[in-house]
Structure 1
Amino acid sequence: MYKNIFKYDDMKRSEHMAVRTTVGWYFWTHQLLEISGPDVTAFLDYMYPNDITSLAVGRDRYTTMLDEQGEIIDDVVIMRMDKERYWVSTLYATKTDDWWYFHQGNFNVEWREITDEWEMYAVQGPKSRDLVESLVRDSVSNLKFFAHMDTEIDQMPCLINRSGFSGEKFGYEIYIHPENRDALEALIKPAAEKLGGKEVTEFQVMAWTLPTEANYYYMRDLAHTNPFETGLDKNINWKKEFIGKEALLEIREEGPTREMLGFEVPEPDIYIRSKQYGGPGEPVYLSGEEIGRVSKLVYSYMKDVNIGYILAQKGKLHVGDHIQIHGYEAVITEKNWMN
C-alpha cells in the first residue's frame, strides 16, 4: 500500500508547524542579479508587466516575466536598492541573463550576477519579528511588508527584507556575506529555540507544503500558463508597454481557456502523479470527461489533508464539485488552506 510521504513524516510536520505556530528558519539563497544604469527603470518596466516605475527605493515588488505569447517564463521579486540600481531575485538567473541580453536593445543598462556575494536566510512565522529583533542593531518593528533595510548583526553587515515564501504575516529574509554564514547560524539557532522554533531542513517544506498551503506558486506550477489562468493578472499595468502585452490583450478579449483551481483528496494514502515531479500530471475527470491535469499535490499540515492545484478547462469546475483523479475522489476548494 502506498504511504503518504508527507502525512506520516514527523520531521516535515514539525518543521512546517514551527513556521505556522512559532518561528522557523532556513538557508535558501535565491539567485540574484544586480542591474543598474540610466535606463534601468524603463528597461525593467518593459521586461516585466507589473509597474516598476512607481517602486520606491527600499521597497520590493513581485512580478511575472512573460514571453511574446504572454506565457509566464519566470516570476521574480524586484528590489529597488537605489535610484538607478535594483536587485532581481530569481531561481533562473542564467535564463534571465539571456532574456535581458536578447531584449536589451538601446536601453543603457548593465547587470551582473551577485549570487555568490550573498547568502539568504529565511526567518518565518508569528515570532519571526521577535527573533530578528533580538539579533539586529536597528529595529525592524516599523519595516513594512516588501521593504528592506541595511543594518548589522553582531557587527556583521546585512540586509533585512520583510518578505517570504511561507504565507506568514511576519516573515523576514536576512542577506549576509558568505564568510559570515556560520556566525549567523550560531546566533539564529539558539534564538529560535528560545522562542520555541526550529530550523527547517526539508526542501519540500520550504518549497512545497508551506507556500502551497498559502496559495503561493512555485515557478514549475506556472510553466506554460498565462497570468489570466493563474490569477496573476491583477499585477499587470495595462497603461504601459511590456513584452507579451499584445498577446495578453487578445486573451483578455477572448477570455482564458483554462484556470488554476484548488482541490483536496480526503483519502490519506494516495498515489497521484503531478506536474511538480515532471510530466503532464494526472488527468482529472468530471463525469467521465477529462477536463484538466494535476499541477501540484502536497499536504496541508494545517488541515491534515492532501491538497493541490488543477489546471482545468475554464468554467467546468466550481468549489464543491467532486472529481475523480487516478481512481480517487477529490473535491474542488478555494486555493488557500491557512485558516
Structure 2
Amino acid sequence: MTNKNIYKYDNMKRTEHMAVRKTAGWYLWTHHLMEVTGRDSAIFLDKIYANPIANLKVGRDRYTTMLNDNAEIIDDVVVFRLGEEKFWISTLFMNKLKPWLDQHKGEYEVQYTNITKKYHMYAVQGPKAKELINSMVEENIDDQKFFSIKDNKIDGIPVKINYGGFTGEKFGYEIYFPSEEIGKIEAELKKHGEPLGAKEVTEFQIMAWTLPTEAGFYYLRDLLHTNPIEVGLDSGIDWDKDFIGKEALLKVKENGPAREMLGFTMDQDDVHLNAKDLGGPGDPIIVDGEEIGRLSKFNYSYVLDKNVGYILAKKDALKIGDKIKIKDYEAVISERKFI
C-alpha cells in the first residue's frame, strides 16, 4: 500500500513553512500563562524548576524543565521575570501546573494566577522578523537581547516583545498583547508583513511540528518518561541549588544515562510510521534482532526535502551515520537538529 506523504505534496504547507525560513511568518501561538508574585516567588520557582530562576534579571526569560521526584520531565516551560517579585510561566499544561504548584507551595509567600484569558501571543519568525517588528513598534528593537522581554507599543497598544521562539530562526520574536486587541494586531501584521513577502502561517502542523522538528525542538509528548540528561536538556541545570528531582537526577549524572535522543533522516517519500509524539509507545527500532529504542518523532523537513525524526535509543547503541531500518524503511542516524 502506498502512503502518500502528506507534507511533501502539500504546496500550502510548503509555502508557509518556507516563508519562515526565507522571509518571515507570523501565527497566533498563545500558550497558557501563569503569573507568579510574592516575596518568595523567585526561590519558590527555583525549587520547582531544574534551571536557575532566582538569578534571572528583570526583563529576561529562560527555558527550563519541571521534574518529578524520579527526575522525569513533567513539563517544559519558559519563565519570564517581569519584576523583582513578578514572573510569568508560559506552559501548554496549566491543568498540570497549578496542582503541582499547590502541592509544593508549603510555607512560601507566593501567589499565582492563571492570566491566560487576558493575553494573546503572535509569533513572528524568520530572517525578516526583526524588520517586520521594527516596522510596527514605537521603540526600535535592534538592541534587544535574545531571551529578553520588553514593553513596547504597536499603534498605541501596550505590548510586550520577547526575543525568542519555537522555530530555530536567528530572528524570532513573540508579541504579547491584551486579548481584546487581536483584531488590531492582526491588521498591523498583515499591513507591514505582506510588503516584506512575509506570510501568515495557518497550518497547525507547520507551526507545531515541521518548523520545531527541523530545529531539534521538543514537545512535552516527546519528553514524557525521560530525564533531561537523556534528551540533552541538562546543560543549563544549576546543580548547586535544590530542586525537585535533583537527587534522582544526580544518580543519572553519576551513572550515566541509559538512553539518548538521536535524529534520523529518511529518503523514501511515502512512509507510514507510528511515533510516540502521536500517542502510544512508538514503533520499535530493531537492530540485529534486538529492540534498541523507540520512534519518538516522525515528521518532514522542507529544507532538506526528506522525512526526519527522533529516536530514543539505548545509550551508544547507535552513532551518527549508522544505517538502520524502521519497519521496512531505510534511515540514517543524524544529529537531532536538521538546519
- Length-normalised TM-score, structure 1: 0.99
Q: Distance in 1 between matches of 2:119 and 2:137?
A: 17
Are the equivalent residues in 2 in contact too, given 1:41–1:53 (CA < 8 A)?
Answer: yes
Deviations 1:153-204 (A, max 9, x none): 0011111111100000001100111111011111101311110110001111
Question: Which runs of 4 or more aligned residues in structure 1 lie more than 6 Å from their structure 2 counterparts after TM superposition?
Answer: none
Gaps of 5+ in 1: none
The 3-state SS of whatever aligns with 1:230 is coil
Q: Distance in 2 between matches of 1:250 and 1:184?
A: 49
Deviations 1:2-48 (A, max 9, x none): 10111111111111100000000000100000001000000000000
Q: Distance in 2 between matches of 1:193 and 1:288?
A: 54
Question: Superposed, which structure 2 residues align to 1:83-122 within 5 Å?
Answer: 83-122=84-123
Q: Distance in 1 between matches of 2:43 and 2:165?
A: 27
Q: Tell me the equivalent position of 1:73.
A: 74
Q: Distance in 1 between matches of 2:292 and 2:183?
A: 50
Q: Tell me the equivalent position of 2:142.
A: 141
Question: Superposed, which structure 2 residues align to 1:1-339 within 5 Å?
Answer: 1-338=2-339
The 3-state SS of whatever aligns with 1:143 is coil
Instruction: After TM superposition, give the deviation of residue 242 of structure 1 in Å.
Output: 0.4
Deviations 1:105-164 (A, max 9, x none): 111100000000000000000000000000001111111110011111001111111110
Letter in 2 for 1:54: N
Are the equivalent residues in 2 in contact too, given 1:286–1:322 (CA < 8 A)?
Answer: no
Q: Distance in 1 between matches of 2:180 and 2:45?
A: 31
Instruction: After TM superposition, give the deviation of residue 98 of structure 1 in Å.
Output: 0.4
Instruction: After TM superposition, give the deviation of residue 287 of structure 1 in Å.
Output: 2.3
Letter in 1 for 2:183: D
Query: Number of residue pairs matched?
Result: 338
Q: Distance in 2 between matches of 1:99 and 1:233?
A: 21
Q: Percent identity?
A: 55
Are the equivalent residues in 2 in contact too, given 1:60–1:146 (CA < 8 A)?
Answer: yes
The 3-state SS of whatever aligns with 1:229 is coil
Instruction: After TM superposition, give the deviation of residue 250 of structure 1 in Å.
Output: 0.9
Q: Distance in 2 between matches of 1:136 and 1:203?
A: 27
Letter in 1 for 2:245: G
Letter in 2 for 1:89: S
Q: Distance in 2 between matches of 1:285 and 1:332?
A: 14
Letter in 2 for 1:180: E
CA RMSD, Structure 1 to Structure 2 (Å)? 0.7
Instruction: After TM superposition, give the deviation of residue 80 of structure 1 in Å.
Output: 0.2
Q: Distance in 2 between matches of 1:53 and 1:42?
A: 6
Q: Distance in 2 between matches of 1:42 and 1:176?
A: 28
Q: Distance in 1 between matches of 2:183 and 2:204?
A: 20
Q: Distance in 2 between matches of 1:38 and 1:240?
A: 19
Instruction: After TM superposition, give the deviation of residue 53 of structure 1 in Å.
Output: 1.7
The 3-state SS of whatever aligns with 1:164 is coil
Letter in 2 for 1:286: V
Which has the higher mean CA deviation after the structures are superposed, 125-134 or 250-259?
A: 250-259
Q: Distance in 1 between matches of 2:142 and 2:51?
A: 28
Q: Distance in 2 between matches of 1:65 and 1:159?
A: 25
